[in-house]
Chain A
Amino acid sequence: GESVGLHLPTLSVQEGDNSIINCAYSNSASDYFIWYKQESGKGPQFIIDIRSNMDKRQGQRVTVLLNKTVKHLSLQIAATQPGDSAVYFCAENMFDKVIFGPGTSLSVIP
């Protein structure tokens, strides 16, 4: 079936550098996408979302880019900090069902 997936399972970045986490989705009917952060022992935490009628949305230190032509989603984290170390999931919301990708583990090197 259709699903949301991530290109890279792990990512290590130096503290202070920018991080980019990528996600490929296959369901062209999806109209809403979300990025979640999950720290060890906790539930997923909402980071930022974007609708399909947009191609970019910015939050505090985070930016989500959506390329509908190639069905690609990315999360950019500026000036990555040790507290950003976690697993990041992209997800699509279709008809009130949230479908998660497998996740990317981000590790920040001090």
Chain B
Amino acid sequence: KAGVTQTPRYLIKTRGQQVTLSCSPISGHRSVSWYQQTPGQGLQFLFEYFSETQRNKGNFPGRFSGRQFSNSRSEMNVSTLELGDSALYLCASSPGGTSFPQRIVYEQYFGPGTRLTVT
């Protein structure tokens, strides 16, 4: 199976612009989560989508948004970029949901990330 893919891998934008990052999960996975990684704040949860619905959300301003398509691919968008948005953005995919009758703890598989630099 192919792993999680993220495009583009590197991106340079100017302050005030907007950007869209893409994530293709592992085939069959329905949950996609996004994380921001910076040297100062570490890894922080942005949001999670499952079956095209946002299921969980972190503490980020409304400039950060996302969506998920019917094929489980996900995009995240950052509008009005600020210098502090420079970070590695990681996407993680998981089968999602809950298994019955025995509950399986699904793990999350991370992509290589998109390195965003805001100048």
Q: Are these two chains actual partners, yes or no? A: no
A-contacting residues of B (Cβ < 8 Å)? none
